[in-house]
Structure 1
Amino acid sequence: MGVKLEVFRMSLYLTFPVVMFWISNQAEWFEDYVVQRKRELWPREKEGQRQELEEFKQKIRKQKEERLLQAAQQSS
């Protein structure tokens, strides 16, 4: 009984990773599941969204520069 159980466990330990590797490397599965899931989680950015983000960054930089300038003028 013990030897049969060990043989079963060893075959399971060897078979499971090989099967998972084989399944995950199927091109159709990768295209259907992984790429689709990636697009759901991180949709492509819109052009207006990128421009809005850049404008916001510029605004923050300008405010930071103004604060630094005011701090420098007050300390002088």
Structure 2
Amino acid sequence: MGVKLEVFRMSLYLTFPVVMFWISNQAEWFEDYVVQRKVGIKKRQELEEFKQKIRKQREERLLQAAQQSS
């Protein structure tokens, strides 16, 4: 059993890095991942801009309300 186990372990040690290298160098997968990530970044930026716009509007309304009550 010892030799079979060692052969299995050695094949696993050699196969895993080769498979990971092959997967990471697939152009289609890489392009899909990069495009999805860029779209996600754009959406986050748009969301942050929207939040800032809403905060600014809220602050302006509070300022106007404070000035009217004074």
Q: TM-score, with normalisation over the residues of structure 2?
A: 0.51
Q: Which runs of 5+ in 1 are unaligned?
A: 39-48
Q: Which runs of 5+ in 2 are unaligned?
A: none
Root-mean-square deviation (Å): 5.2
- How far is the alpha carbon of 1:34 from its aligned partner? 3.2
Q: Percent identity?
A: 97
| 1: CA distance, partners of 2:68 / 2:7 | 80
Superposed structure 1 runs of 4+ greater than 4 Å apart = 49-76
Q: Which has the higher helix share?
A: 2
Q: Deviations over 1:23-46 (max 9, x none)?
A: 0100000000134224xxxxxxxx
Query: Which secondary structure state, in structure 2, belongs to the residue aligned with residue 36 of structure 1?
Result: helix
